[in-house]
Amino acid sequence: MQRRVLYTTRFPLMGGNATVRFTDDRGRERAEPIARAVEDEARRIEAKFSRYREGSVISEINRYAGRTPVAVDRETEQLVLFALDLARITRGRFDPTVGVLRRVWDFRARRIPSAAEVAALLPLVDAAAVSVRDRTVFLRRAGMELDLGGVGKEYAVDRAAEILQAEGIRAAVIDFAGDVRTLGMRGDGRPWAIGVVDPEDRRRCRFAVRAAGDCGVATSGVYERGFVSDGVRYHHILDATTGWPARGLASVTVVGRSTFRAGRFATAAFLLGADAGLALLEKAGGIEGALITEAGEVLATTGMANVTDLPGGLFHGNPSI
């Protein structure tokens, strides 16, 4: 019987970096095609759903905004419906049409728009004006833009996990720019350790999650894209009801059975703020979460704060665990 070997593949994805590690005992000739299949699937999803790709289905929907519905497949339909459901959960603070505000927000250039610039675009931010019916998607107003950035990367993580499972991989960790999915245990039998970045210092971990078994870990944080100007932090997680960065929290980490579910609730909790966000995580089934406020206080769901074993064999602690 061959020794189990840890294989690692890395590639750029969705504006960040992707890393996939898995163990197998069937040799490199078997492992390399599996790694390529995972990368190919991740790139397929990016090409299909990125609003930055001219040939993507999202770009096509945006081109025909206010003109005509665009025929879509079931995969696209489901992702759009999930995004619209997230808008409902957050009472409009998340909105899959918020991407139009990128016309005035430029985080790389550290540009802060005027209140008038933001207000002029807010009429185009309206999930209620997104029609999904008979396998078509239609943006009812000209100038609207659909953006699945709030759900696409997490979906890609779970699809990668499905490919690994179908190929017989039983121990893996998938990390797409901080959204993580684990399968089984590490090759040495220990849980996977997943560090959560300190929002105030990206070189440090604020705490760590250890994952034993099949689970997802997703984090929404101010450190992903943003800048500080005159003592105020501006970041890319915009409250769609105001057009300005959400306030109150610096980071939300959610753990659950899938990265897609964890990511949706991390985004929702961040946008709702500390009290409402924590309440949402408490009442949602099958997940646990930890919120870091702008003041640096850590708030955790009851299960995450008071027990060692969380759903999926998870627990939290400091990076040395």
Question: Does a structural domain hold residue 299?
Answer: yes
Residue 309 predicted with pLDDT over 50 = no
Render 220-250 in DSSP notation, one character per residue: EETTSSEEEETTEEEES-EETTTTEE--SEE
The more confident residue out of 210 and 275 is: 275
Residues 72-81 have pLDDT tens digits of 999 999 999 9
pLDDT in tens, 176-195: 988 999 999 876 777 888 88
Could you tell me if residue 184 is inside a domain?
no
Alpha carbons within 13 A on the beta-carbon side of 282 = 12
249 and 201 in one domain? yes
Task: Name which of 54-63, 235-244, 248-257, 299-308 the model is least confident about.
Answer: 299-308
Residue 76 and residue 166 in one domain: no
Alpha-carbon span 306 to 71, nearest angstrom: 49
Residue 8: which residues within 8 A CB-CB, separation 6 or more? Answer: 19, 20, 21
At 28, is the pLDDT very low, low, confident or very high (cuts 50, 70, 90)? Answer: confident
Tokens coding 38: 């995972």
Domain match, 209 and 290 both: yes
Residues 222 and 298 in one domain: yes
Structure confidence at residue 315 as a pLDDT band (50, 70, 90): very low
Give tens-digit pLDDT for 118-164.
999 999 999 999 999 999 999 999 999 999 987 889 999 999 999 99
Sequence-distant (≥ 6) Cβ neighbours of residue 80 within 8 angstroms: 72, 96, 130, 132, 137, 146, 148
- Give the global pTM: 0.90
The CATH number covering residue 275 comes to: 3.10.520.10
Is the same domain home to 174 and 198?
no
Instruction: Give the model's pLDDT for residue 48.
Output: 97
Q: In the structure, what pLDDT confidence band is assigned to residue 196 with cuts at 50, 70 and 90?
A: confident
Query: Is residue 313 located within the same domain as residue 207?
Result: yes
Burial of 320 (0-12, 13-18, 19+ CB in 10 A): exposed
CA distance 245 to 312: 33
- Residues 74, 123: one domain? yes
At 146 the three-state DSSP class reads coil
Q: Are 224 and 302 members of one domain?
A: yes
Answer yes or no: do 135 and 265 share one domain. Answer: no
> Is the domain of 44 the same as that of 122?
no
- Residue 272 near residue 90, CB atoms below 8 Å: yes
Q: Which residues are registered as beta bridge partners of 70? A: 137
Tell me what the pLDDT averaged over the chain comes to. Answer: 89
Note the pLDDT of residue 281.
95
- Residue 82: pLDDT over 60: yes
Residue 186 in domain: no
Yes or no: say if 224 and 260 are a contact pair by the CB < 8 Å rule: no
Angle, helix 28-49 to helix 152-166, in steps of 10 degrees: 150
- What is the mean predicted confidence (pLDDT) over 270-299? 93
Arithmetic mean of pLDDT, 75-90: 96
SS3 203: strand
Q: Count how many domains the chain has.
A: 3
- Structural domain of 219: 191-317
- Long-range own/partner contacts, residues 232-239 (CB < 8 A, 24 or more apart): 233/294, 234/107, 234/112, 235/107, 236/105, 236/107, 237/267, 237/270, 237/271, 238/98, 238/101, 238/105, 239/93, 239/271
Shared domain check, 289 and 230: yes
